[in-house]
Amino acid sequence: MKDLEDVANAAEDASNSRAFVIAARAGFAVSGLLHLLIGVIAVRLALGDSQDADQGGAMAQLAAQPAGVVLLWAGAVACLALGLWQLSEVIFGYRRVAVRRRLGKKLAAAGQGIVFFVLAIGFASFGLGNRKESSESTSDATAQVMSMPFGPMLLLLVGAGIAITGVVFVIRGLLKSFTKQIVLPASKALRRGTLILGVLGYMAKGVALFLVGLLVIVATLQSDPEESTGLDGALKSLREQPFGDLALIFIGVGLGCYGLFLIAKSRVAKMD
């Protein structure tokens, strides 16, 4: 037991080390850069462009830059570090939080950890030269799950979960509850700017997630996996609706705001 305790203490100390926390904070900045690029692509979609408005499209833009491979692998390392930090929160964190709230906090940290592990895998995949379009990957994955026993039911639950997460993001933005995760700057102007970026960003991110979840549900009910094309398909479908261009611009600007908020969060997030 003592050996296990020593290992656990060593792991906790490592997760709190300055170098590890700095690397983990960089994960927020990397995610912010991706959202910023997706926001720019979404605005371009509204103006008639046809790029992939999702993480794959944003990563492709990074890959096309000078030293793009270096950027991709740096992103992979940063997201992996943040995923591991979230995992450490699941294991060691929230000891001072009331028991009735602790499980929810740990589940949220686990969910965030999975998101950043997936991002790290995406960066590494692009770094290795695997550039398959995200919409194709999403459709393929949907088709595979749909063919499994109870697959359609699972997809409906996944779609509902994504849509509900979108609603939660919108509510967080409206209520400014995201401020619980950060230390607001002392400067009044910076504090106001951070709040504006957070509110607009969370609302736009929520709308985008809701649309993705809705597409998954529609694809499942119609037994057509081609309808499930992720964020890129959701935004391109929105463009075809009345006033879709204006909605796309709002979402694009909002995702850009969310990206800038995440970049700011890399400095002001509560990670001590």
DSSP 182: B
More confident residue, 113 or 12: 113
* CB 134, CB 230: distance < 8 Å: yes
pLDDT tens, position by position, 125-142: 888 877 655 555 555 566
The band of 168, judged by pLDDT with boundaries at 50, 70 and 90, is very high
The band of 212, judged by pLDDT with boundaries at 50, 70 and 90, is confident
pTM, to two decimals:
0.79
> What does the alpha-carbon distance between residue 167 and residue 173 come to, in Å, rounded to a whole number?
10
% of residues, the chain, pLDDT over 70:
81
- Number of helices (H) and strands (E), helices first, in the chain? 10, 0
- Which residues lie across from 269 on neighbouring strands? 182
pLDDT of residue 232: 65
* CB 225, CB 146: distance < 8 Å: yes
More confident residue, 174 or 147: 174
pLDDT of residue 167: 93
pLDDT of residue 98: 74
> What does the alpha-carbon distance between residue 63 and residue 47 come to, in Å, rounded to a whole number?
24
Residue the block writes with tokens 């491979």: 69
- Segment among 24-33, 144-153, 223-232, 257-266 with least mean pLDDT: 223-232
More confident residue, 220 or 250: 250
More confident residue, 197 or 147: 197
Average pLDDT, the chain: 79
